Amino acid sequence: MTSTDARTVEAGNGSRPPNPLLKNLSAKIASVPMALTALVIFLGCTGWTVVHSFTSSKLLPKLDFVGLDQYDRLWSTRRWLVSIENLAIYGICSLIFTLVIGFTLAALLDRKVRFESAFRTIYLYPFALSFIVTGLVWQWLLNPELGIQNVVRSLGWESFSFDPLYNPDIVIFGILIAGLWQGTGLIMVIMLAGLRGIDEDIWKAARVDGIPVWKTYVLVIIPMMRPVFVTALVLITSGIVKIYDLVVAQTSGGPGIASEVPAKYVYDRMFSSQNLGQGFAASTMMLLMVAIILIPWAYLEFGGKKRG
Amino acid sequence: MADVTASTNGNGIPATGLVEGPRGAKPKRTFSRGNIFLYGTLIVVAVYYALPLWVMVVTSLKGMPEIRMGNIFAPPVEITFQPWVKAWAEACTGINCDGLSRGFWNSVRILVPSVVLSIAVASVNGYALSNWKFKGSEVFFTILMLGAFIPYQVMIYPIVILLREMGLYGTLWGLVLVHTIFGMPILTLLFRNYFTSIPMDLFKAARVDGAGFWGIYFRVMVPMALPIFVVAMILQVTGIWNDFLFGVIYTKPEIYPMTVQLNNIVNSVQGVKEYNVNMAATLLTGLVPLTIYFVSGKLFVRGIAAGAVKG
Amino acid sequence: MKPITGILAATALASGTAAFATDLEVTHWWTSGGEAAAVAEFAKAFDATGNQWVDGAIAGSGNTARPIIVSRILGGDPMGATQLNHGRQAEELIEAGLMMDLTEIAEAEGWKDIVNPSTLLDGCTVDGKIYCAPVNIHSWQWMWLSNKAFEDAGVPVPTNWTEFVEAAPALEAAGKIPLAMGQQPWQQGGAFNVILTAVGGIELIDKIQGQKDMDAAMGPEFAEVWTAFAKARDMAAKSTVQDWNQATNLVITGQAGGQIMGDWAQGEFQVAEQTAGEDYTCLPGLGLEAILDTGGDAFYFPVNDDPEITAAQKELAALLLKPEVQVAFNSKKGSMPVRGDVDLGTVNACMKKGLDLLAAGNIMPSREQVLTQDTINEINDLLTEFWADPSYSPEDAQKAYADIISRAE
């Protein structure tokens, strides 16, 4: 099989102009799963959902168009607004903290630390755990009657209070603590790899010029690590929008609706309220939010220069 | 007060080591202020990361009375493995009291085909994209990359319909397919970047020797890409083992993966919450990815460096 | 519709070759202690017919389980039978022809004559055909009080909501939580409806939820209900448990004075071996408006093309309403049987109160029967937000509630 293909191509190259459709035939056949995924799932399913978000679909999807009704209702629903606010807070904080902590830890570990691999192992292991596990553990640790608050109180500090999961105003930070615990290790490892990729000579040059260490990081190293930061950024943002399991395991959206997130709104409306149209409208908004962030970034990243 | 003194004494041994350092004649470099700050920070952060695991391990080895009495950070006074046994073989969801073992085997049955299929497909994708570009291949790749950012919620429902039409809904293979699809963007990127980094001359030499698409793939690319295959495997095993959303939506109770069953066991409270059993169950669920991680730590890191950093 | 039936046929073929004994998968969300014991009675009775009950328990509340159940039916992978609350939850599934018509069995077994109150069967009926088998009557309209808690606080056990509110400070002084409440939205939603019925009265609830009367929804009577609910919020400020049975456990152990929860809570008291009247007291309709809503659980049987499965489904449907099965199930579950002609044997004081109300015809439709799940969830979201945020004023909440009602179907 393979040799026949190769010969066809070789022959094509040599004597007569090849049929453009047959060129790279194996590669094209091999790419069918990718093409199907790209077209049917990523484009097709997304389009289907967007179209159906303009319908009054309840339990079953049907093409009964109602214009922007679902969106009107969506944006007048408190729970959706709270979800968006939570996502914004969680997203911004998680982005900043993950990058800062990830980079700082990597920079610290890069200073020829003893037991480096032990530290690295400890920082990264939470990444191997699921959000369900993460959420449950931190639910217990932050439970006032069982976890940290209880322990501190039993040590004698009776008025100590640390119950973020029971306080609607700060519950999203309780989730953030768990999210950072799980995710920063990965970013640290990526950053560390980036730092290791930087030429030793640059450090030597900086030392010779008498530039302080922190300045070297800010002015020289970080700009050099731009691709690494882009990778990290992409990994973090794509995780943020999808946040769901963590909230389900840790708070189920409570107290009240204080830790609801858009992904959970979509799931609940689609499957629990039996109101598909509303769920589709909400998921379309999620898509739109991603697009608003993604398009300028993609433009900056790929628009200016064409590279292979 | 007594408690406080006791605890400082308990922690005293490593602390004295550090304090005594500067007094002695040790070289200044090792115990400079910068180093103390450096190691201090690293250790404090390490405690934050390690604490939850510690809490789970010690709590899962305690009996319920001890949990109610004491603090969750203290090591168990009397070690019992009963919670582990119960979590594995006896914990109930509804009237099924066969513990997490059922979910464990389900997860294994989901995991193996999903990992194999998703990596096979993605590695071929990456290879085609880096060495056999054809008209439109970049378009597919771009869509795939954008697809990584589309919230799953947008696609969940239409996929229910698609799987239903294919007769795969609620089956193990339906879930395998879903994992293959959603693993595709990141894995394809990983392989594409790796294959692009392999010198083009190698590829050209193989072409001159008369090797075709599959020939080069199996004889040249796969052997060279073994480390990246391991990385992909680690990523997929962790990711699929830890999945919850797809497991909930696309399977039924008999083939629920372990995460879903864990959530069920922990949430079906019968009277008092048995924290020790719950934590043992949680640890059991985390055991597979943790083992893989601890065993392959170095490779994991090296792989990330190779794949992700090249951006 | 067409493709669904096609797939059904395909799955039926596939599973038909594999099935030797008729296994019937039954999904439900009965996972607490008392509930699991009750469902085991169904399983036992069904297994005794030579078939095999495959338990598909889904943990969590109905809100977790229902989506899984519905998407499986829609996904062409139906279970043999499933629990749902009768009412509007299955409306569309029935309309889409996905549920089995049970009329034949209902007629053969004479359900029309034995099911009491007959409104239960109405909840199963669409276009004159019967699509579900009601198995029990559950009513939300109860309050459970811990006699021990009031004894410890040195006040008599209240006989109605007003007295309970007055006793709250004494309970607090004794270090008790006056009102136990779990943090899940459906619990606050249900409790609100009980307070609405008891404080507002049966006419008000019908005007608001039944007729969607905006004047009533904005009116002063409804405002009183909100004040009472805000009071309940204050009394439950220290109750941080999640699940309803954990809240019930607070009452059982005397850490809390009372809990507003449906009669399924009774099962928990039984598992804890407590005696009605001695260890705990129950107030139907909060002692103000003695009435029961007749919601409950019913079993639906998704259409299946495998004749063996269909036969087993029919067998199970008939079995669920048999007198001995009704007795065995309902005494474990703490619910009331759907037929008036069976004797549960020694019923405790609380169950007796319920059966008397039922016999006297003091009944009203449940929330699930009047409102769609969509509206109920919206209301629950509002109530749980109100509940968790002490600065949310009753006035604002009433407006938001009226808003939801104004666009409800």
Domains recognised in chain A with CATH numbers = 68-303 (1.10.3720.10)
C-beta separation of C353 from C336 below 8 A: no
Question: Parallel, antiparallel, or unpaired: how do β-strands C125-126 and C129-130 relate?
Answer: antiparallel
Do C272 and B271 count as a contact with CB atoms less than 8 A apart?
yes
pLDDT band at C11 (very low <50, low <70, confident <90, very high): very low
Question: Parallel, antiparallel, or unpaired: how do β-strands C142-146 and C132-134 relate?
Answer: unpaired
Residue A201 C-alpha, separation from nearest chain B C-alpha, in angstroms? 20
- Cα–Cα distances in angstroms (integers) from residue C345 to residues A217, B171, C40, in the given order: 80, 45, 19
Q: What is the mean pLDDT of residues C175-181?
A: 93
Which residue do the tokens 């090792």 mark? B30
Contact partners, residue A39, CB within 8 Å, separation at least 6: B140, B143
User: What are residue A44's phi and psi, to 5 degrees?
Assistant: -60, -55
* CA–CA separation, A117 and A105 (whole Å): 13
* CA–CA separation, B173 and A150 (whole Å): 46
Which residues of chain A are within 8 Å of residue C184 when distances are taken between CB atoms?
A: 252, 254
Residue C38 C-alpha, separation from nearest chain A C-alpha, in angstroms? 25
Mutate: best of C4, C233, C246, C374, partner A, most A CBs <10 A: C374
C-beta separation of B175 from B247 below 8 A: yes
Q: Which of residues 53-82 of A touch B (CB under 8 A)?
A: 61
Burial C348-387 (b: 16+ CB within 10 A, else e): bebbebbbebbeeebbbbbbbbbbbbbbbbbbbbbbbbbb
Contact partners, residue B20, CB within 8 Å, separation at least 6: none
Average pLDDT, rounded, for chain A: 85
**Of the candidates A43, A27, A50, which has an alpha carbon nearest to the alpha carbon of residue A284?**
A50
Q: What is the mean pLDDT of residues B89-97?
A: 73
Residue A19's pLDDT is 67
Question: Which residue in the set C36, C60, C77 is minimally distant from B267, CB to CB?
Answer: C60
**H-helix or E-strand spanning residue C146:** strand C142-146
pLDDT of residue C95 exceeding 80, the answer is yes
pLDDT in tens, C58-68: 776 677 788 77
pLDDT of residue B270 exceeding 80, the answer is no
pLDDT band at C19 (very low <50, low <70, confident <90, very high): very low
Q: Which of residues 14-73 of C touch A (CB under 8 A)?
A: 63-64, 66-68, 70-71
Q: What percent of chain C has pLDDT over 90?
A: 48
In chain B, the residue whose alpha carbon lies closest to the alpha carbon of A106 is B42
Mutate: best of B268, B272, B273, partner C, most C CBs <10 A: B268
CB pairs under 8 A between A and C: 79
In chain A, the residue whose alpha carbon lies closest to the alpha carbon of B4 is A155
Could you tell me which residue, B19 or C216, shows the higher pLDDT? C216
Residue B311's pLDDT is 35
C-beta separation of B224 from B306 below 8 A: no
Q: Which option is the CATH number for B101-308: 1.10.3720.10, 3.40.50.2300, 3.90.1300.10, 3.40.440.10?
A: 1.10.3720.10
- Token couple for C300: 């639906």
Do C30 and B94 count as a contact with CB atoms less than 8 A apart?
yes
Give the number of residues written for chain C.
Answer: 409
Average pLDDT, rounded, for chain C: 86
Contact partners, residue C76, CB within 8 Å, separation at least 6: B164, B167, B169, B170, C4, C7, C8, C11
* C-alpha torsion angle, residues A292, A298, A299, A302 (rounded to 10): -170
pLDDT band at B1 (very low <50, low <70, confident <90, very high): very low
pLDDT in tens, C309-366: 999 999 999 999 999 999 999 888 878 888 888 877 777 888 888 888 888 888 888 8
- Token couple for C202: 């049966």
pLDDT of residue C265 exceeding 60, the answer is yes
Domains of chain B: which residue ranges? 2-87, 101-308
DSSP code for A17 = P
Residue B137's pLDDT is 86
**H-helix or E-strand spanning residue C83:** strand C81-85
* For the ranges A128-142, B285-299, C7-21, the one whose mean pLDDT is highest: A128-142
Amino acid, res. A176: L
Please tell me the least confidently modeled range out of A230-239, B113-122, C99-108: A230-239
Domains detected in chain C: 2-138+295-358 (3.40.190.10), 142-293+371-406 (3.40.190.10)
* CA–CA separation, B207 and B212 (whole Å): 7
Helices (H) and strands (E) in chain C, counts: 21, 13
DSSP code for B77 = S
Please tell me the least confidently modeled range out of A56-65, B15-24, B252-261, C361-370: B15-24
Q: What pTM was estimated for this model as a whole?
A: 0.84
Which residue do the tokens 């969801």 mark? B93
pLDDT band at B268 (very low <50, low <70, confident <90, very high): low
* CA–CA separation, B168 and C175 (whole Å): 56
pLDDT of residue C225 exceeding 80, the answer is yes
In chain B, the residue whose alpha carbon lies closest to the alpha carbon of C26 is B253
Residue B131's pLDDT is 86
Q: How many Cα neighbours within 13 Å face the side chain of A271? A: 28
Residue A210 C-alpha, separation from nearest chain B C-alpha, in angstroms? 18
Cβ atoms within 10 Å of A307's Cβ, excluding its own: 5
* CA–CA separation, C207 and C186 (whole Å): 22
In chain B, the residue whose alpha carbon lies closest to the alpha carbon of C8 is B167
pLDDT in tens, B25-50: 344 456 678 888 889 999 999 999 99
A55 touches chain C (CB under 8 A): no
Mutate: best of B68, B90, B95, partner C, most C CBs <10 A: B95
Which residue do the tokens 């107030």 mark? C283
* CA–CA separation, C189 and C193 (whole Å): 6
Which residues of chain C are within 8 Å of residue B165 when distances are taken between CB atoms?
A: 3, 7
In chain A, the residue whose alpha carbon lies closest to the alpha carbon of B297 is A121
C-beta separation of C71 from A279 below 8 A: no
Residue A306's pLDDT is 47
Do B128 and A227 count as a contact with CB atoms less than 8 A apart?
no
pLDDT of residue B203 exceeding 80, the answer is yes
Q: What is the mean pLDDT of residues B224-229?
A: 86
Helices (H) and strands (E) in chain A, counts: 17, 0
Parts of chain A with a pLDDT under 70 = 1-23, 303-308
Question: Parallel, antiparallel, or unpaired: how do β-strands C81-85 and C297-300 relate?
Answer: antiparallel
* CA–CA separation, C74 and C302 (whole Å): 10
**Of the candidates B180, B182, B178, B286, which has an alpha carbon nearest to the alpha carbon of residue A127?**
B286
pLDDT band at B302 (very low <50, low <70, confident <90, very high): low
- Token couple for B236: 């997929």
Question: Parallel, antiparallel, or unpaired: how do β-strands C297-300 and C280-284 relate?
Answer: unpaired
Residue A10's pLDDT is 41
